[in-house]
Amino acid sequence: MTDNIISLDKLPLLKRGRIVKIGSDDIKNRLLDLGLVEGATIQALYENAFSNPRAYYIRDTLIAIRKREASLILVEPYD
Amino acid sequence: MGLTGSSVGIYAVGQKKRTACEKCKHSNINIALAGNPNVGKSTLFNVLTGLNQHTGNWPGKTVLSAFGSYEYMDGKYTLVDLPGTYSLNANSPEEETAGNYICIENPDITVVVADATSLERNFNLLFQILEMTENVILCVNLVDEAKKKKITVDVKKLSEILKIPVVALSAGRKKGIDEFKKTVYNYDKLKGEAKNTDYGAVIERVFGIVAEAIIKVYGSIDKRCARWLGMRILEKNEKAILEYCEKNNIDVNLPQIQLKVKEAQKLLECSGIDTSKLHERLISDIYRQSEEICSKCVVKKDKSYYSRDYKIDRILTSKKYGIPSMILLLMGILWLTVTGANYPSQIISNILFGFEDDIFGALTWLNFPEWSVSLIVLGVYRTLAWIVSVMLPPMAIFFPLFTFLEDLGYLPRVAFNLDGFFQKSHTCGKQALTMCMGLGCNAAGVVGCRIIDSPRERLIAIITNSFVPCNGRFPLLITVGTMFFAGMLWGESSLFSAVLVAALIVFGVMITLFVSKFLSKTFLKGMSSSFVMEMPPYRRPQAGKIIIRSVFDRTLFVLFRAVCVAAPAGAVIWLMANINIGDISILERCAAFLDPIGRLAGMDGYILLAFILGFPANEIVMPIIIMSYMSAGYMTEYSNIAQLHELLVQNGWTWVTALCVMIFSLVHFPCATTVLTIKKETQSLKWTVLSFLLPLIIGFSLCVIVSFVSNTLISIFG
């Protein structure tokens, strides 16, 4: 593991990241079912007026995730 | 699974005798439609059955399973449209419904509908279903949309790899339906050859140990089901185990099974697999297998095909323009509704009131007693005519526009834009979706609250839904607003009416947020639960479908309901106005009794009485007010808004009265239908009473404050 791992809510817009870990939370199963599994690629696309939630693109699907949930997901950004 | 009639009855006899049983084979086949949310299951269901199951471009549209049937050649098929789910793990009530149905009702064929543009994600559910039953047909839907995005799916290859029938479909454009029916007609149950998931040697061996132990005890259980049950036991998915075992009379706590479970668990630990993380491992593996298959069968020529939607989203959901564009859109819709409705309203009104004399004449000629003619024509018919002419045109414009946005996929974006507010109220962003539905009809909005997973947030959404004005309250808001405020500023203009109604809706939204927060801090304490929502791709709505659906399903439905209520209400008002106790009519007595309360809130007794009598349906509040003011006790036809204005002013209306009426119309008790729906949805008298009293108290207090402040200001500056 490299040390440039950040939580998903910190992933800059339009950047892609590889999911490293999904923290345990009541929503974990739901995230897994949407395809947010370790190793999957996720891209931050845009945010609303409150910067929360943000919309992410994963497996050809656009998903809105609130900051609190996104902060429990760790990603490794890549270009 | 196990010994159902279909699995042993005909098929156990063997393939050779099939022709003899052809008739019974097709006599009644149960088909379940499963799939991710928003992949077009309901559309396929409608095309097949001809039923009008409501569809829309947003996840969670189907909250109840719908049933229907169709025939093909000599076959008869029963269809169940299950709610869309991403998995069978039951993260929400509707996912539980779908999971239980496949798991327990054991349909003959499970049709998995998948979105061709995002097969990878859709395969998660497919594989989870394949782990339970191999009698699956895969429908790759939306191939037209995929083609536009330069995605091609090799259906033949998919079928070869999965070893199940695969059909390419474009249900919305009715392509591939015949092939689908043929595939179902010719369907033969498989005998263990369909593809199943593969989790690698260690895990498979562990599953095998438990499955074997189950089969040893329960010989009749299907191999796949035994493996599936073994997986759930090792995952410690108590809910799934309990449901399945109860239905199939299986006891997994038998010592001979538990012994093997312990053995399996030990083996897992020795191999360094944490049992608490087994579920995550399995899902990751399913996705790995999905990726593998998709890389073989799906070709994407355009890597960034999302770009078109991104361009639209950069305005409609952007940080800066998201909320302003939403408000502009709302005003635009209202403006089109108000402008477009003016003229047809006039025409319908002229026609309907034109018949009045004829009906009067006809009834008199038929020797009806004078009082009954008067009751029917001046009480019932006039109210009906008013309702139809005032309500039909705006609904016939508003509902198609609303359905257009719904089909386009805009509604989830509203939830996205507004979620920040809902987070501050400790509620779910999806509440915005239910509020949008409330604009059409509050009862529908209350039912729609099922898409919210957390029971606490769902209750809040249900209780606050009536703060969004439904379509039935638009006419009052528009008429009163135009009469008393438009004239003051810009003269009669539909643009102003639109702005005014939009402002009132925004005001309603603000009250909703405020009350939601209040409830979150008091009766329904709690922090907002997690929120993850799929935002569907924009889809071009089909014009024909929109018009047919919105006119027949929504407009006529709502109008019919209003008419059913308006007719008796018209009669009641006429009777109240014409039956005297002493020298004064019942209507006047009631109004006089309510008058002090009404005055306190800036209104009068007649208005308050109208709101009370309008409890069955909000649409009739305005006609009742007008009728009550007529000394004769029935509505006069008024040909223009100026005459109505004059009537109201004669009865003491000022702009303060108008403002209070509008506020009270926006915030009072929900209509009878909505109250009944709330009772049904919450299953609790307590919450139903609260949903009734809360808006009443808030609305009344607001009116008291507004009238007091305004009247004080008038007396100081006036």
Does A32 sit within 8 Å of B532, measured CB to CB?
no
What values do phi and psi take at B657, rounded to 5? Answer: -60, -50
Disruptive mutation site among B123, B416, B534 for chain A (greatest number of A CBs within 10 Å): B416
Note whether B31 and B111 are within 8 A (CB).
yes
The domain boundary, picked from B154, B185, B216, lies at B185
Q: In the predicted model, is pLDDT for residue B90 greater than 80?
A: no
Choosing from B273, B297, B331, the residue where a domain stops is: B273
Q: What does the pLDDT read at residue B568?
A: 86
Q: Are residues B11 and B35 in the same domain?
A: yes
| Over residues B15-38, mean pLDDT | 63
CB contact under 8 A, B287 and A60: no
**pLDDT range class, residue B22, cuts 50, 70, 90:** very low
Tens of pLDDT, residue by residue over B42-54, are 888 888 888 666 6
- Locate the chain A residue with the closest alpha carbon to B127: A33
Residue ending a domain, among B253, B273, B293, is B273
What's chain B's average pLDDT? 84
pLDDT of residue B65: 67
Contact B221, B106 (CB under 8 A): no
Confidence of residue B670 (pLDDT cuts 50, 70, 90): very high
Q: Which two tokens stand for residue B638?
A: 């008024």
Q: What was the pLDDT predicted at B63?
A: 53
- Among A48, A57, A65, the residue with its CB nearest the CB of B322 is A48
Residue B428 shares a structural domain with residue B398: yes
Model pLDDT, residue B305: 53
**Of residues B20, B49, B74, the one with CA closest to residue B186:** B74
Q: How far is the C-alpha of B41 from the C-alpha of B184, rounded, in Å?
A: 16
ipTM: 0.94
CA distance B152 to B523: 53
Instruction: Report the pLDDT value the prediction gives residue B640, as an integer from 0 to 100.
Output: 63
Question: How do residues A7-32 score in pLDDT, each as one tens digit?
Answer: 999 999 989 999 999 887 677 888 89
Residue to substitute from A62, A69, A73, interface B, most B β-carbons within 10 A: A62
User: How many residues belong to chain B?
Assistant: 718
Token output for B569: 């209400």
Q: Give the type of residue at B551.
A: V
Contact at CB, B420 and A22, closer than 8 angstroms: no
pLDDT class for B23, splitting at 50, 70, 90? very low
User: Looking at the structure, do residues B359 and B256 belong to the same domain, yes or no?
Assistant: no
Residues B426, B464, single domain; the answer is yes
pLDDT digits (tens, 9 = 90+) for B62-71: 555 678 888 8
Identify the three-state secondary structure at position A58. Answer: strand
B205 and B181, same structural domain? Answer: no
Give the Cα separation of B516 and A73 in Å (integer).
Answer: 29
**Best B287, B321, B327, B456 residue to mutate vs chain A (most A CBs within 10 Å):** B287
Taking residues A29-48, report their average pLDDT: 90
pLDDT at B288 exceeding the cut of 90: yes
From the list B89, B121, B417, the residue facing A61 with the nearest CB is B121
Q: Do A49 and B529 touch (CB under 8 A)?
A: no
pLDDT at residue B59, as a whole number = 60
List, for residues B401-410, the tens digit of each pLDDT value.
888 888 888 9
Of B89, B117, B416, the CB nearest to A64: B416
> For residue B304, what pLDDT is reported?
63
Same structural domain, B82 and B216: no
Nearest-CA distance A30 → chain B (Å): 7
**For residue A79, is pLDDT > 80?**
no
List the one residue out of B86, B94, B240 whose CA is nearest residue A29.
B86
pLDDT classification of B106: cutoffs 50, 70, 90: confident
Model confidence at B10: pLDDT above 50: no
Q: Domain residues for B169?
A: 5-185
B710 and B613 in one domain? yes
Q: How far is A33 from chain B (nearest CA, A)?
A: 6
State whether B328 and B207 are in the same domain. no
pLDDT digits (tens, 9 = 90+) for B534-563: 888 888 887 777 777 777 777 887 788 778
Best of A30, A47, A61, A63 to substitute, by most chain B Cβ atoms within 10 angstroms, is A61
Proportion of chain B above pLDDT 90, given as a percent: 31
- Asked whether residue B124 is assigned to any structural domain, the reply reads yes
Q: Do B284 and A39 touch (CB under 8 A)?
A: yes
| Per-residue pLDDT, B27 | 66
Half-sphere exposure of B618 (CA within 13 A, CB side): 29
Size of interface A-B (CB pairs under 8 A): 124
* Highest mean pLDDT out of B80-84, B232-236, B693-697: B693-697
State the virtual CA torsion across A30, A36, A37, A38 in degrees, nearest 10: -140
Residue B380 pLDDT: 86
Residues B580 and B442 placed together within one structural domain of the fold: yes
Give B407's contacts (C-beta < 8 A, 6+ positions apart).
Answer: B55, B56, B57, B539, B541, B542, B545, B546
CA B528, B534, B537, B540 torsion-angle sign: negative
Chain B residues within an 8 Å CB radius of A31: 532
Tell me what pLDDT residue B634 has: 52
What does the alpha-carbon distance between residue B193 and residue B600 come to, in Å, rounded to a whole number? 77
| B638 domain-assigned | yes
Across residues B201-223, what is the average pLDDT? 90
Q: What is the pLDDT of residue B7?
A: 33
Specify the number of domains making up chain B: 3
Q: What is the pLDDT of residues B480-506, one digit of tens each?
A: 887 887 665 555 577 777 888 889 899
B312 touches chain A (CB under 8 A): no
DSSP annotation string for B328-386: HHHHHHHHHHHHHHHHHHHHHHHHHHHHHHHHHHHHHHTT--HHHHHIIIIIIIHHHHH
Which one has a higher pLDDT value, B638 or B692? B692
Give the percent of chain B with pLDDT over 70: 90
Kindly identify which residue of chain B lies nearest to residue A44, measuring between CA atoms.
B310
- Provide, rounded to the nearest whole percent, the portion of chain A with pLDDT above 70: 95
B290 inside domain: no
CATH code, domain carrying B76: 3.40.50.300
Residue B301 lies in a domain: no
Q: Are residues B181 and B208 in the same domain?
A: no
Domain presence at residue B538: no
Domains of chain A by start residue, with CATH:
6-78 (2.30.30.90)
Range with lowest mean pLDDT among A30-39, B112-121, B235-244: B235-244
In a domain, B302, yes or no: no
Residue B276: what pLDDT? 83
CA distances from B294 to A57, B151, B285, B680 (A): 18, 11, 14, 44
Which residue does chain B place closest to A14, by CA atoms?
B310
pLDDT of residue B392: 83
Asked, for residue B287, whether it belongs to a domain, the answer is no
CB of B429 within 8 Å of a chain A CB? The answer is: yes
For residue B622, give the nearest of B600, B580, B653 by alpha carbon.
B653
Closest A-chain CA to B323: A49
Please check whether residues B387 and B260 belong to one and the same domain. no
> CB B530 to CB A62 under 8 A?
no
Put simply, whether the predicted model's pTM sits higher than 0.90 gets the answer no
Query: B535, A63: Cβ pair inside 8 Å?
Result: yes
pLDDT value at residue A68: 87
Residue B2 confidence (pLDDT) above 50: no
| Within a domain: B17 | yes
Write out the E strands in B223-357. Answer: 298-300
Q: Quick one: B558 and B510 in the same domain?
A: yes
Residue ranges with strand state E in B127-181? 136-141, 151-153, 166-168
Query: Would you say how long chain A is, in residues?
Result: 79
Minimum-distance CB partner of B283 among A32, A55, A68: A32
DSSP B27-74: T-EEEEEEESTTSSHHHHHHHHH-------SSTT---S-EEEEEEETT
Burial of B402 (0-12, 13-18, 19+ CB in 10 A): buried
pLDDT in tens, B293-347: 999 999 888 766 567 788 888 888 888 899 999 999 998 998 888 888 878 888 8
Instruction: Compute how many other C-beta atoms are within 10 angstroms of the C-beta atom of residue B314.
Output: 15
